[in-house]
Amino acid sequence: MTTATEVQHHLMRIGGQDVDSGRIMTLIDPSDESVVATVAQGDAAHVDAAVAAAKAAFDTGVWSRKTPQERATVMRRIADAANDAIEHLIELELSCNGATIRQATGFHIGYAITHFSYFADLADAYAWRRPAPIMTFPTLAQSVVHREPIGVVAAIAPWNFPLLLTLWKVGPALAAGNSVVVKPDEHTPLSILEFARIAERNGLPPGVLNVVPGDGREAGARLASHPDVGKIAFTGSTAVGREIMRLASGTVKQITLELGGKGPSIVLDDADLDMAVDGVLYGCFVHSGQVCESGTRALVPRDIQDEFVARLVERAKTVTMGPTRDWDTDMGPVINATQQARILDYIRGAEAEGAQVALGGQALDGPGFWVQPTIVAGVTNDMRIAREEVFGPVLVVIPHDGDDDAITIANDSDYGLAASVWTSDNARGLAVAERIRSGSVWINDAHQINCQVPFGGYKQSGIGRELGPDALDAYTEAKTVHLDLSGGRAAKPYDILLSHAD
């Protein structure tokens, strides 16, 4: 195993400067438990310094007072430079979070750069001034709604898609003219640290994008409660999201929360079973099930349940686990030993409640944090494994007795992030989708994250939406500017309070 003394040490980025802290976090490759790198660990004092740098940059107007078109030009230059560095970014990403090279290339980094470019285009297209209809009562007047940057935005990002989900926050924040402080997950800070340096080399002024790796309980909590932070954007667990809401409430910050999920994959009785089997497995096992919108509950017609489980098992046996840098590998490890143990505990708990493991259900011998692709049958929707987010390669199969029953089971959840419907009848699929309480419903597909439409969840899956044409709304303040056109004192309704002067 490589030792920490033989690997590169990465520093925080605050106010355009590399900053060390005297404390380190060691980054581990989940596939083999080797040490990837060390990184400076920030604390509340470093968060304070980063917020101060962001606020100073905002107040000078070096970024906030550029025209939207000027900001878009710089952001496109950054995206081009990131694309030139894509191989390096891919390696930084998969070395820390266990993604396969196919997934890191297509989703983790490929999507990240494309989506950042989309936010640059939004800066050009966004309605920064929105005139209201001319008023005629009580006086003639015109109002215009201005959309203006909030100030300092805090982005707290997860480990599963470190760069992509960070840029879902950084991109619209920068497009709107804000300054940003990022607290990446302590397991996966390398790709956003590198992106910040790429951004500064390509025209982003120092202090506009700051990155402070650190522990969530210290650095993250300080960001969430900091009085000079006007907006918190967070992706992660529902439990942590609740704590961020509590901390942000002290200064009444704006918040966007993208939280957990327990997505239903609803198979109807007219579905193409070959496509549905592949789609359900894809919906659950991509990135080893470590995706918030994964379809982890397969709702299957009762009379074909046994056949469908048998098909799932045979197809899932073809999923290849192996070195994450091998293009033939389908599925990598989970993030760490704690998560591996947690996933296995859910599986053992399901067995204790009467469910049956039809495939997998075990860890693989190390090194690395591997969990077999697992299919659990005989599940009812009241079992813990059907209620709680496992965040691993575990698919549970629940029988249903027709469309109405399937919809009832799908909606019987604390979550409502994403769902899929599998049917050969488009009209029937659309009718089911209308009744699903979920932020996204994919018909005959899964994991279709499109930057041109909003993404987020109902219920305890979050607050607000990311992506889509209105993505900048969450990173701006609305100011109404009212211009009187009546032409003088006599036309005003002031006599409701004040009599006319002699």
Active site residues: 258, 292
Residues sharing a CB contact under 8 Å with residue 491, sequence separation 6 or more, in sequence order: 139, 140
Dump strand ranges (E) for 53-140.
Answer: 129-131
Identity of the residue numbered 367: P
Under 8 Å between Cβ of 186 and 290: no
Question: What is the full DSSP assignment across 210-273?
Answer: EE--B-IIIIIHHHHH-TT--EEEEES-HHHHHHHHHHHHTTT-EEEEE-----EEEE-TTS-H
Q: How far apart are the first and last CA of the chain?
A: 92
> Which tokens hold the place of 190?
């390398």
Can you tell me whether residue 455 is helix, strand or coil?
strand
Peptide bond into 133 cis (omega under 30): no
Give kind and range of the element (H or E) at residue 180: strand 179-183
User: For residue 121, what are the contacts with CB-CB under 8 A and spacing of at least 6?
Assistant: 72
Which residues, 6 or more positions from 113, have their beta carbon under 8 angstroms from its beta carbon? 79, 82, 83, 86
Rounded to whole angstroms, how far apart are CA atoms 479 and 494?
A: 24
Helix (H) or strand (E) holding 149: strand 141-149
Distance (Å, whole) CA 445 – CA 93: 26
